[in-house]
Amino acid sequence: MLIIVGAYAAIVYLVFFRFRWLPLNIFTRTAIVVLGVFIFLSVITELRTKTPASALASVTTFVIEIAPQVNGRVDEVLVERNTVVEEGAVLLTIDPTLYESRVDALEAALELSKLRQGQFEELAEADAGSRFQYQQAVAETRQLEAQLAGARFDLANCEVRAPGKGLVPRLFLKPGQQVSPGRSVMTFMHTDFMYVQGLFQQVALQDVVVRDKALISFPALPGREARKRNHPNAEAINLLGWLGLPAGGVGWLVAMVWARLLHFRIDVTDIPNPESADAKADEE
């Protein structure tokens, strides 16, 4: 819009003031105003129907609260904030010593139970033992197998893994911290299902079809951008950016360009003083 207004003003200047190809009277002045209003309204209408825009937009995705399934002390935190990780990546590890010892004990007990089960089976087949003792040994073996499966499940859960591809925007965990089941330690945000939704007027969507490309812009603050780049005029850029917003954003645009321009600083302490150099030469 600013480019069109500037081009129209330049044409008017060249025709009526610079080269004076047409006289400037009441009729030409009226024509300039009417034509300018017509161009302005035409451009606004075309922009509303052909290039719909909206300032009401939001980013939507699935957010999961990550909570461990076992108690214990955190050994390592292997993820950083706002860093994308792949599905199955280890986010944190919990001290597995207690759960490893439980698995070892149940494996030993299960081995003994299977041995006794076989002995009772042989005795029962030879009518030298009770059938009930054999059935009891079978039940004990199955019970130990179930306990061992639960213990192995707890041991595997000492490594908390990413449920999908995404990132961790919030992290409340440090090594050595005690965690418990059901207590959230970090927030996980999926990036595979992230999409942007915006609100548009119905008239602006009459020519929009599925799979049309959209341009998304994220406004920035010129002053913050200048401070990040250590710009020497950061305060002036910040003031221009805020004062330029009520003026249609022109000042904001100028401030943003200014903030991104290359700048140079010269340290005057590194420049030799000619007078001191001459005095030193005279001494020699």
Q: Answer yes or no: is 44 within a domain.
A: no
Residues 110 and 89 in one domain: no
Q: What's the total number of domains in the chain?
A: 3
User: Is 262 a member of any domain?
Assistant: yes
**pLDDT at site 230:** 79
Burial of 116 (0-12, 13-18, 19+ CB in 10 A): middle
Residue 203 lies in a domain: no
Range of the domain at 172: 62-94+160-193
* Domain presence at residue 69: yes
Whether residues 101 and 153 fall in one domain:
yes
Name which of 33, 61, 23 is nearest 166 in CA terms: 61
* Confidence at residue 219, expressed as pLDDT on a 0 to 100 scale: 61
pLDDT of residue 277: 46
Answer whether residue 183 is part of any domain. Answer: yes
pLDDT along the chain (284 residues), means of 10: 77 84 86 88 78 78 89 92 90 94 93 86 72 84 93 94 90 88 89 81 79 73 78 82 69 76 48 49 49
Asked whether residue 200 is domain-assigned, the answer is no
Residues 84 and 144 in one domain: no
Same domain, 153 and 170: no
Residues 102, 67: Cα–Cα separation, whole Å: 22
pTM: 0.55
Residues 87 and 115 in one domain: no
What the block records as the tokens of 2 is: 């600013």
The reply to whether 227 and 274 lie within a common domain is: yes
Q: Is residue 68 part of a domain?
A: yes
Please indicate, yes or no, whether residues 153 and 165 belong to a single structural domain of this protein: no
Question: Which residues, 6 or more positions from 113, have their beta carbon under 8 angstroms from its beta carbon?
Answer: 137, 140, 141, 144
Given 104, 129, 157, the domain boundary residue is 157
pLDDT reported for residue 152: 94
- Crossing angle of helices 131-156 and 97-125, rounded to 10°: 160
Residue 271 pLDDT: 43
171 in any annotated domain: yes
